[in-house]
Amino acid sequence: MIKALELRDNIPSIELENGKIYNTKILYDFKEKLWTSKISFFNNKLVLNSNHFIELIHEDIYNCNQEDGSFKPKRRPHFIYSRIIQNYNTIKNSPKKFITIKNKVVFLHNSFSSGNAGHELFQILHTIKLYRKYTDINFLLFNEIDNNNLKLINLLIPKNRIIKLKENTIYNLENEIINKEYNDPEPILYIDLLNELKEKLLKKVPKNNNLKNKKIFLIKNNLNKCVTRFDDMFIIDKKIMNKFKKNNFLFLNPEVDDYYTFAYILLNASVIITGSGGISCANSFLYNNNAKIYGIKDFKDFKDFIIINDHKKSILFPYKRINNQLYYNRLEGVILTNKEFTYSSYKNVVKFFKD
């Protein structure tokens, strides 16, 4: 909390007009799996709306816990405010040490980059929707990031409009477009871009009937790399997972799977079982109108599984715009099960979804 309060109360700051061009200096450091500490610096002040997490502590001091992860339940510490303060002081104390970029630019990577792929993706889509049509604008990316979202960017933005930056390097952006970041976007606003991406993604994989009509688990689990909140994470034994695979079930992982194959399988799936957390953003973004979709939620001390398909499902599996806006009204039901997948759970799930 101390670092967050120091940032909020002791660092001079300014809010610039969203969508307008300013002559700024910027700096970031990159830490794998953590929020990105990119800041803009204008007239010796920290730009409030240059990083989502700066704005957060000015709105609600509870969010100072992003620093050390001391939420209840515990989350991954990001040390975001220590890093932002360090970046501010580095720019302030290095008035003549910078690289100048004269182009008109806007950041495509953002403060969510590396920390949460879903939030990162929808901020990317938001920026592309606003500025792709202006051919004199270049998009800024962090050179250290090479993830699946970068593959999507490459499908939408020509390479000659991309400028890559390096961490721990001060840049003077003579024409930076200030672009406010949003934590809770509406996927429906980007439906045109989503349809464009779906069409291009399907062309990346040759037609393969062996990858069609799969039953898919798309859930946060112990095999995922970037998990910020652990309280709703499922535990899956590899032996149980292999048993599911033998019955036409696949556990997809958008972090590590070949993304083009991942998209092809998901868009051609017959059943999708998805959690309510961030990983379900992949399902919201690659919405499959033909699959039967079920939510899944851990039910404390529940040894088996049950499917709820009445009015209670909305209480058990809440509506979240970023995660499930595009398919929430199509949910067939909600699966309640223990956090740890058991052999009994496996048998009953297979029996329920038997062809």
Structural domains present in the chain: 2-185 (no CATH), 191-201+210-352 (3.40.50)
- pLDDT for 76 equals 80
- pLDDT for 1 equals 63
Residue 301: which region, alpha, beta or left (left: phi > 0; alpha: psi -120 to 50)?
left
Local structure of 232: helix, strand or coil: coil
- Name the burial class of residue 184, with classes exposed (0-12), middle (13-18) and buried (19+) by CB atoms within 10 angstroms of its CB: exposed
CA dihedral over 195, 165, 226, 184, signed as positive or negative: negative
Residues 6+ apart with CB under 8 A from 353: 215, 249, 271
Residue with tokens 């919405």: 287
Residues 6+ apart with CB under 8 A from 146: none
- pLDDT for 252 equals 87
- pLDDT for 156 equals 96
- pLDDT for 304 equals 63
pTM over 0.85: yes
Q: Largest Cα–Cα distance in the chain?
A: 68
Give pLDDT < 50 ranges for the chain.
Answer: none
* Crossing angle for the helix pair 148-156 and 259-267, to the nearest 10 degrees: 80
